[in-house]
Amino acid sequence: MGDTPQPRALTDVRADPRLHTLAALPDLRSAALPVGDPLSDVLPDGLVRGRTVSCSGDAAVSLALHLVAVATQAGSWLALFDNGRVGLLAAHERGIALQRTVLVSPPCDPSSWSSALATAVDGFEVVVAFPPRGASPADLRRVQARVQARGAVLVLVDLRRRVPAGQADVALATRTRAWHGIADGAGHLESRDVEVEVAGRRTARPRRAVLRVAG
């Protein structure tokens, strides 16, 4: 067995010195959106436009928010399809620029959900959503086709394993290894070490990394 990867601390993306204005890039349609350190270990190419990323496991929500935070700070608009699991406070605590975030109450019907998602992709560079019960592979493929055509980035928080294996361009499976912030029964949880397994049809080979993330 190889050496167990050690966690690297996730910097405060609100003060990330690598932030830059996307408008200054020469070709927005082909450019990848930035991610913060150490998420570049997981996605060295950043958030590639036209692709779908799924996040599963016990740290899926936290990882998804961290993934898109630097992009919103750099000028991208985010549509957050919140089913009551996130909220603006949690988004802000993970560095998401609320002034460029629109909170969307998603419909429960899978067909209506996919239609609403496809509409959001027309107007936002980044969309974060939770697949509902009953969402079919065909529903997801229709949304993915729109994402690819528009050059957007879709992040699916797959808490119930509703995204079929191999459908997402990049699949990030998470598992919390340790919590930090409580000592001798006092204090509060501040961060955790999360093991992330990277797979998906746009991934050359599966790999793992351990990240330290807030919340």
Q: Is the pLDDT of residue 16 over 70?
A: no
Q: Mean of the pLDDT values across residues 138-164?
A: 93
N- to C-terminal Cα separation, the chain: 30
Regarding predicted confidence, which is higher, 30 or 54? Answer: 54
Three-state SS annotation for the chain: CCCCCCCEECCCHHHCCCCCCHHHCCCCCCCCECCCCCHHHHCCCCECCCCEEEEEECCHHHHHHHHHHHHHHCCCCEEEECCCCCCHHHHHHCCCCHHHEEEECCCCCHHHHHHHHHHHHHHCCEEEECCCCCCCHHHHHHHHHHHHHHCCEEEEECCCCCCCCCCCCEEEEEEEEEEEEEECCEEEEEEEEEEEEEECCCCCCCEEEEEEEEC
Q: Is the pLDDT of residue 70 over 80?
A: yes
* Structure confidence at residue 24 as a pLDDT band (50, 70, 90): very low
Pairing label, strands 78-81, 101-104: parallel
Q: Is the pLDDT of residue 60 over 60?
A: yes
Q: Residue 53 has what pLDDT?
A: 97
Asked whether 178 and 192 are in contact (CB, 8 A), the reply is yes
In the chain, the domains with their CATH numbers are 8-214 (3.40.50.300)
Task: Indicate the pTM of the whole model.
Answer: 0.83
